[in-house]
Every structure is written in structure tokens, then in C-alpha cells.
Structure 1
Amino acid sequence: MSLGSSYHVGRSAPGPQPAGPLPPVRAATPLGLPLLGAALGHLVVLGLICVVFVRTYPGQWLDGLLLPRAERGGGYEQQTVLVGPSKTVLAAFGSPVLLAVLLGAVLLVGLLGRRLLAGVVGIGMVLTAVVVAGAVKSMLPRSDFQIESSTTHNSFPSGHVAAATALLLAFMLVLPGWARRWLAVPGAVGVSVIASATMIAGWHRFSDALGGVLLGVALFCLAAAALAGWRRDADPGGVTGPRGGQDSGTLWRGLIEGAVGLVVLVWALLVVGPGLDASVQRGTLVAIIAATGLTLLSVVSVVFLVRSADFVGPMHSRHRAQPEPAVNIRDGGTAQG
């Protein structure tokens, strides 16, 4: 029976019907969860290093073995020709003008790349690293075990190293993925240079430098997790984790680039190593190599974790979505919009 319409009652409207059940779609993993896990892991390791090297006899003894105190004056400044260059590096990095320029560069890159919020978060991350490192150093007591190569003065963690790590990772928030990959290794080497300079100049122990790196990386993971959560809320489908086959090519490209970076790093160590070995004591050399390796591992791992994320501000449509026109069924006619 019909009602003067071209459509019959009891029948569905004509149209293409699916040939079969749709294949299951694997949901993308939110990036915030692994970032929070990474932040928690770095904070746990930071706490363990603090407990072991600040509050136990073996930890203080190991710090003193790697960076022994000077026989004259009782300071930790190492007897090497690299003391002068190390103090020059630390004075340059500690310049308020240079820090203001670098923080301004983070904000400018974020503004140009539509990642202004990420730039603001990155600047806050650097300032937070400095404040937290200073607060921990002033409040954390250092146990006195009467170790000849140690003092009760607490310098854990290094504010210089924490600020350098956070500054490098602040650029990772405002740069696109391809630029992050090329900046990660050179930037981590730069952080290692600052960490080595603090140890050679006698400003910090090995555990202090390592604690500064872990603090900066943990703050980056928290900041990136917050940005990832905001990005998904503001623009659904924005920041997600690895996405199956589409990400396999990126994974292989990242592995190849990592292998190339590793070859370059080994070559640099072979070139710099002999001169460094002749200039510093064996314990200092071990501390520099260990700090450099752990810095590279920590920075590169979190940069690899956010390889598929882009913290660009959400795109807003210029026009509001128009409601779909109602279907008008006329007598004897067809469906019209």
C-alpha cells in the first residue's frame, strides 16, 4: 500500500547497503598514559638515586671515588686543564641574557608553528626545573658518615643540568617531529657538556648531574602528557599513540636515524676520548662517560615516545556546521532536499 509517495510503507529507503560486517578498527592509544608512566618511572629513579647517593655510605663513597676532593682547599674542583673552559661554559649558560634569549626562542618557535600553548608550557617547565632543584637542595639534608672524600653540603640535584635538560625538551614541545629527531642527539650532547662542566669545575657531584637530567625529563613527560590530554579534548583525534601500519615506516626511519646518530657519537668519542683521557683522572672520565650515556638514553627515549605527537593548536572551522536539510516527500514525487 502506498500513500501517494514513491516509497512504500514498510520498506527502508533505497541506498547502498554494506556487503558485509565492517572490519574491526584498532583504537589509537592515548599518548598521555605512556607519558605519565615515563614520568613516574623517572621520578622513582630520581628518588632512588637521591636515597642511595645522599643518604647512604656506599653512595657517598662512590661519588667521592668518581670525583675526589682536591688535596688542597678541600673543594671538588678537578685538577685538569679543562677547569677554565668548564667555568667559561657554566658562566655563559648561567647568563640571564642568554637564558632569556633561549626562552624567547622557544616562545617564538611555538608562535610561528601554531604551538603557542606548548611554548608557554615549555617556558614554565624550565622555570619549574630551576625552582624545584633549588628547593630540594636547600631542604634535603645530607647524611654525615665521616667519609673523607665527602662533605655534608647537599648539592643534589644540579640546577644547571636540570635547566639545560628542560630547555632542550622545551624545544621538543614546539618543534615538528622531523626537527625533534635531528635536535635530540646534538641537544643531549650539549646537556652532557654542561653536566661534565659542573663536575670538572667542582660545582656538582656525579649523582647531582644525573639527578638534574632525571628531573628535567620527568617534568617534560608531565608537560607533554598534559598537552596531549588537552589536545584530545580540544580536537578529538589529535594526539594519539602509534597507529599500526602507518607508524611502521616512521619506526624504521627512526631506527635508521638512531643508528646513524650512534655511529656519529661513537666516532666523536673516539676522537675526543684520547684527549679527554689524558686531561682528567680516571674517575672523572668514568663519571663524564656515564653521565653522557645516561643523558643520551633518557632524552632520546622520551623524544622517541612522542615521535608521532604534534602539539599544534586545534583547528577551528570558520563556518559552523549547517544542519542537514529535512527530507520533503511530496505526493507522487520523490525525496527532495
Structure 2
Amino acid sequence: MSLGSSYHLGPAPDPRSARPLSPVPSAASLGRLLLGAALAFLLALGLTCAVFVRTYPGQWLDGLLLPRAERGGGYEQQTVLVGPSKTVLAAFGSPTLLAVLLGAVLLVGLLNRRLLAGLVGVGMVVCAVVAAGAVKSVLPRSDFPIGSSTTHNSFPSGHVAAATALLLAFMLVLPGWARRWLAVPGAVGVSVIASATMIAGWHRFSDTLGGVLLSVALFCLAAAALAGWRGDADPGAGAGPHAGTDSGAAWRRLTEGAVGLVVLLWALLVAGPGLAASVQRGTLVAIVAASGLTVLSVVSVVFLVRSADFAGPRRVRQRAPRPAATIRDGTTAWR
């Protein structure tokens, strides 16, 4: 048919009707989920502080688990692990090592096109350390007639807060598959730092728990901000009709979970007998409880951000409308 035909091609389509769906609702859903998690962890932090710092039963339980667990020399636990614990804390507290670790966060972020996430992660570590120090300075500790207890406040632990924040900073700059592989070993490393502070007598059980909760809450806030800025989908968002039927993905997750479980069992089998023979029963209970809560907290937040990428703002390219061609009779055709 020639262009001179009077055949009517119909009205021109509206190019605005072809715009892609905005990912903002999914990003907002993930942001709300993370903000809710941050609120929950902050509430847990406040309850931990209120119970263990401000009440008689809480202070009594801290003293039962770690008798005379106070900051400073002479308050360490009666165990041969005091020396190794102080060595671990001295190494981790080295400004050079901390600078190297923070630089590694930025480097990994740069290599993975997540430089902004790396900067946010470094800021998160700084905020965790500053917040822990500020709370310890201004928070009063109630004075109850409890043996081996003093009014010196050591809640929360700055060492544990820094270790947890460093681990979670790497979670911001690593891809999803790497986060899952690092979560359990990293949480075990944080547990070692927490155990060392209790054995060396620097902190009580509640202090280590407070350090973990503080950093996890800050991570949820940072991840919510990054997810909203980039437009990441919430867990399960955009799942098609065949979502959940991918046997390969299911087997991969089962493999990752099995490996994590093996690592935990190995750590318990290797460290458990030595700890049981080297520390008092209260100290052992405090170490196991702190380690379990640390692993649970880290794994839970890594699960929440499993669909987030943090690689940069998602730009949706809109296709420009095709130019119109006018036919001789005045009708318009779209090429």
C-alpha cells in the first residue's frame, strides 16, 4: 500500500502510557522493614540498659555471671585465658589495624562499585564508637548493695560495638553471596572479641550485648538509607510465578546454611572443652550466651538485606517516542 492511501491508521499512542513501573514502592517497603528492625534493636538496647544497669536483679545477674567483672586491672576472671584475651584486645585496639580495616572497607566498596556504601560503613563504625563512649560517660549506674559491684558504668562495650560495626560495614560493600559466607565466621570473630573483654574483666555480659545491639541498630538505619537512595527491592519483591521453584537456588541456600552450621559446630567442639576446663561456670554461660546472641543478631540483619545491592542509584532508561510521519491526507502514522 502506498503512502498516498487514505487508509486511516488510528490515533497516535500516548508515549506516557509505556513508562516502566517505578521501583519506589519496593524500595520503600525494604526501607520500612529495616527501619522497623532498627527500632526493634534500639528497643532491645534500651531494655538491656534498663534491666542490667538500673535494676537490682540485672546487676545481680551480671555479677553472678562475671564476678567482679569491671574495667581495669585486678578484675579479670581467674583463668589462664586472661593473657591471650588481653593480647587479642590489644591487637584489635591498635589504631593501625583499625585504620587498615576501615581502608579495606573503602577499597572493597570501590572495587565493587559501592564506594558510597563504603563511606557509609566507615561512618557507621565511627558513630558506633562515639555513641558507645558517650553512653558510658553520661549514663549513671544505680548503686545497689551487691557484692563485687561498683557504680562505674561500662555499658555498652566500645570494643564489641567497633567489632560488630566493622563486620556489618563489610556487609554493605560486599555482594549478597559474599555476605552470607562472611556472616557466621565474622560473627564468631565478634564473639571472640566479646569473650575477651569479659575474661579480661573490661566489661560485663550486658556490656557486650549492648555493643552488639547498638551496632546492629546503626546498620539497619544505614542500610535503610542506602536502600531507599538506590531503590532496592524488598525481600521477595518482583518474584515471578516461578519464584521459589528454582531448585538450584534452593540447593545453594541449603549448602550455605549447612556450611554455616558446620562452622558453628566446629567452633563449639574445638573451643567448648577448652573453655569449660579453663573458666568458671558463670563465665562459660556468659560467653556462650553472648556468642549465640551475636550470631543470631548478625545473621538476622544479613537475612533482611539479602535482596539489597547497595551498588548505586538505579537509573531507568525511558525510550524516547518515535518520530511521527505525516501522510498526505493529514493522518499521522508512528514508525
TM-score by length of 2: 0.86
Correspondence 1:7 to 2:7: yes
Shift in CA distance, 48/219, structure 1 to aligned 2, threshold 3 Å: same
Q: Assess if the C-alpha contact under 8 Å between 1:113 and 1:174 holds in 2.
A: yes
- Compute the displacement of 1:316 (Å): 5.8
Letter in 1 for 2:236: P
Alignment of 1:1-337 (within 5 A): 5-8=5-8, 28=26, 30-69=29-68, 75-232=74-231, 238-243=232-237, 244-245=239-240, 248=244, 249=246, 250=249, 253-314=252-313, 322-331=320-329, 335=333, 337=335
Q: Deviations over 1:136-176 (max 9, x none)?
A: 00000000002113110000000000010000000000000
Shift in CA distance, 198/247, structure 1 to aligned 2, threshold 3 Å: farther
Distance 1:298 1:306 in 2: 13
Distance 1:156 1:334 in 2: 74
Gaps of 5+ in 2: 14-24
- Secondary structure of 1:327's counterpart equals strand
Distance 2:314 2:131 in 1: 35
Distance 1:51 1:76 in 2: 24
Shift in CA distance, 221/311, structure 1 to aligned 2, threshold 3 Å: same
Distance 2:331 2:44 in 1: 74
Residue aligning to 2:19: none
- Compute the displacement of 1:261 (Å): 1.1
Distance 1:43 1:251 in 2: 33
Distance 1:224 1:202 in 2: 34
Q: Deviations over 1:267-315 (max 9, x none)?
A: 3202221111000000000000000000000000000111111000136
Greater mean deviation of Cα atoms: 263-272 or 145-154: 263-272
Greater mean deviation of Cα atoms: 239-248 or 261-270: 239-248
Letter in 1 for 2:206: S
Gaps of 5+ in 1: 15-26, 233-237
- Compute the displacement of 1:254 (Å): 3.1
| Count of residues paired in the alignment | 313
Distance 1:160 1:90 in 2: 8
Shift in CA distance, 320/257, structure 1 to aligned 2, threshold 3 Å: closer
Distance 1:107 1:148 in 2: 47
Letter in 1 for 2:162: A
Distance 2:333 2:318 in 1: 26
Shift in CA distance, 277/331, structure 1 to aligned 2, threshold 3 Å: same
Shift in CA distance, 247/280, structure 1 to aligned 2, threshold 3 Å: farther
Letter in 2 for 1:199: M
Segments of 4+ moved more than 4 angstroms = 11-14, 249-252, 319-323
Q: Assess if the C-alpha contact under 8 Å between 2:105 and 2:169 holds in 1.
A: yes
Shift in CA distance, 332/209, structure 1 to aligned 2, threshold 3 Å: closer
Give the root-mean-square deviation of aligned CA atoms: 2.5
Q: Assess if the C-alpha contact under 8 Å between 1:239 and 1:310 holds in 2.
A: no
Distance 1:240 1:171 in 2: 20
Q: Assess if the C-alpha contact under 8 Å between 1:39 and 1:217 holds in 2.
A: yes
Shift in CA distance, 282/47, structure 1 to aligned 2, threshold 3 Å: same
- Secondary structure of 2:324's counterpart equals coil
Shift in CA distance, 148/103, structure 1 to aligned 2, threshold 3 Å: same
Taking every aligned residue pair, what percent have the same amino acid on both sides? 80
Shift in CA distance, 74/84, structure 1 to aligned 2, threshold 3 Å: closer
Distance 1:28 1:100 in 2: 36
Distance 1:95 1:74 in 2: 19
Letter in 2 for 1:240: D
Q: Assess if the C-alpha contact under 8 Å between 1:200 and 1:284 holds in 2.
A: yes
- Compute the displacement of 1:260 (Å): 2.9
Letter in 1 for 2:82: V
Distance 1:139 1:334 in 2: 74
Distance 1:104 1:216 in 2: 19
Q: Assess if the C-alpha contact under 8 Å between 1:240 and 1:308 holds in 2.
A: yes
- Secondary structure of 1:296's counterpart equals helix
TM-score by length of 1: 0.86
